[in-house]
Structure 1
Amino acid sequence: MSELASGSSGRRPLRIVMNGVTGRMGYRQHLLRSVLAIRDDGGLLLSDGTRVPVEPVLVGRSAARVGEIADRHGVERWTTDLDEALADPTAQVYFDAQVTSAREKAITAAIAAGKHVYTEKPLAESLEGALTLARLAEQAGVRCGVVADKVYLPGLVKLRRLLEGGFFGRVLSVRGEFGYWVFEGDWQAAQRPSWNYRSADGGGIVMDMFCHWSYVLESLFGPVRAVTARAVTHVPERVDEQGERYTATADDAAYGIFELPDGVVAQINSSWCVRVFRDELVEFQVDGTEGSAVAGLRECRVQHRATTPMPVWNPDLPVTEPFREQWQRVPDNAELGNGFRVQWEQFLRHVLEGGAHPHDFLAGARGVQLAELGLRSSAEGRRFEVPEVRA
């Protein structure tokens, strides 16, 4: 049964309908480490120094799972009926962390109910669907946002600081490595749900990660002008959560070249079939005329022009240069919190206070567009220019 009784607080909370919180990301990053953390810290801090309490309303298909999460974390309102939750006039915001195939219908219903919408990416399964949602939100006058967590993470915050400070001189190139080995599910359980590897269920690393690379590259270096990509399925068979073998029909690795403004070229490898020999699960190396940096989710290291060593290629002698030791760690110089929570706070302040929000539905549509063009590039073996997206 569902529970949508009124909360006990005398103050009017900012009520957020959260759909899909039984999934890994929806629960850990969005509910536990973001919305509940804001709640437990006394509410959302506004620009005038006041706080507004936040109150999640949990939505999911399984009453047992949603109810258990609600009980565990002291959440009073939960339901298995999305329409019921959206009909509540006291709920102002809808959040979606469902599988991609269910997202467009739910967001459309939320917009029709007059809710502001914040959603995981990809925004929709197609560019056409994403643009439709952008138009609906604009026509309804609701505020909208798409998760862009990586630019709020400490490593990329430090990288942005270097860019804004002119550290690199003229940026030349970006090299990105992302991914790890996802077990096939037979002798060790897979770390990701099986739907990720079935194209019919919205799986595929291109649709997943190119949406990320779209906003990361755009936020730091400018919009992607052209893309060349190769998407592959390295592991053709996996084992699902019930122990049944299935054919992996979605791409599990992608190798992309992204052309950016001012001649900057980005090369990013994305793979669920790579064993990690890096300091972090994602790293970006930026090379410029005056210096270079390597940024991960948390750390960032630099090497300035003045301290760049002079390696000499000699395959007849062992390498003696301690290359990793020749880089300097960039200090935090500020309290850099969880990137998901930081963006949640930014979006909720956008809802309550207005002002610009960079990661809106059009930004989400650009991510879907880049993924679509990446898949076309792979299928047709050619480079695609990226046209401007308009609602």
Structure 2
Amino acid sequence: MAKTFDCDLAILGGGLSGTLTALAFARLRPDIDLRLIERGQSLGGNHLWSFFDGDVRPADRWLVDPLITHRWPQGHDVRFPAYQRRLPTAYNSIASAQLDAHANQLLGDRVLLNADVIHITPTSVTLGDGCHIQARAVLDTRGGGDMSALECGWQKFVGQALRLNHPHGLERPVIMDATVAQIDGYRFIYLLPFDDRTLFIEDTYYSDDPALDVPALTGRIAVYAEEQGWQVEEVIHQESGVLPVVHGGNFDRFWPAEDGIARAGVRAALFHPMTGYSLPDAVATALWLADQPLEDLAAATHARAKAHWKAGGYYRLLGKMLFRAARPDQRWRIFERFYRLNPHLVGRFYGGRSTWADRIRILCGRPPVPIRSAMRALLTPSA
């Protein structure tokens, strides 16, 4: 006989957004009986999330600090063909295994794994095994869903954690090494030194095409390591992903107001339009959700997501410049110019908090793309 039970809040999706929301409720509203429902065997999947210190407010760090697996207080580097720079902002990484372990320890039997969702309403969830959950509110955080209403470029990547035979010599992360051959759009290598002989190397592309050729990218990682003189002893971990970089679209078609299901995370387009990164918004939204009444949660989350979409118009404009105005093999010039700007401006940009002065400064001066292409991109309306 199929099991039926009640709870206050059913959170669908045990990725970053859903798990942070569950942790926020567990700390701030322990009276709420919640279930975190994930179709996989563990929370967080197979991911490494990273963030700058400025991405999360100091008052909110309690939510993510227990999840941090590596921290580099000494800042980070960027490398371009004609420019290199060291920026002072500290950098942090969260491994999905740590997210899974911490959340399971705190949430216990409120986590439901290997649970396929086959039907949802604003107040109920039916699972593949026939289990029926009745809730005061259902929150859907299961990835992006149908993104056909959005105009996207794509940030796609393959990353490997490598154990080396000898020390690699890096003291801090390299957020972008764009001195590599430019293939399939803007390409850069991302480096995280976990210890003196363990290094995470990610081959990343800002591409027009979401197709990801994993064998080709792993081959390029091997070539890059060899060119640096690093002898690989073992591949410890591998991950891959494709993130939307939204430069246009119709929010009301992406999430119609009459939908009726509360959303968060990428499912609600709550991510940085220009970078595709969602951690700063996931933290802020989790804490905001923990302060909301569960009744009418769909309308509240829809309003928040629509306000975020409106506020992201400037970043989508920059995305248009990147994907529609710049030649794919010349896109690196946009980032090289950007990284010559004030480091505080750079930090506010990644945190999605650019001031009006920042926005003017980013756009002023000699543009790194042809003027005609830029005007054509800006004047072409979104679908």
Fold shared, TM-score > 0.5 on shorter chain: no
**Higher strand content, 1 or 2:** 2
Short-chain TM bin: 0.3 to 0.5
**Structure 2 length normalisation: TM-score?**
0.33
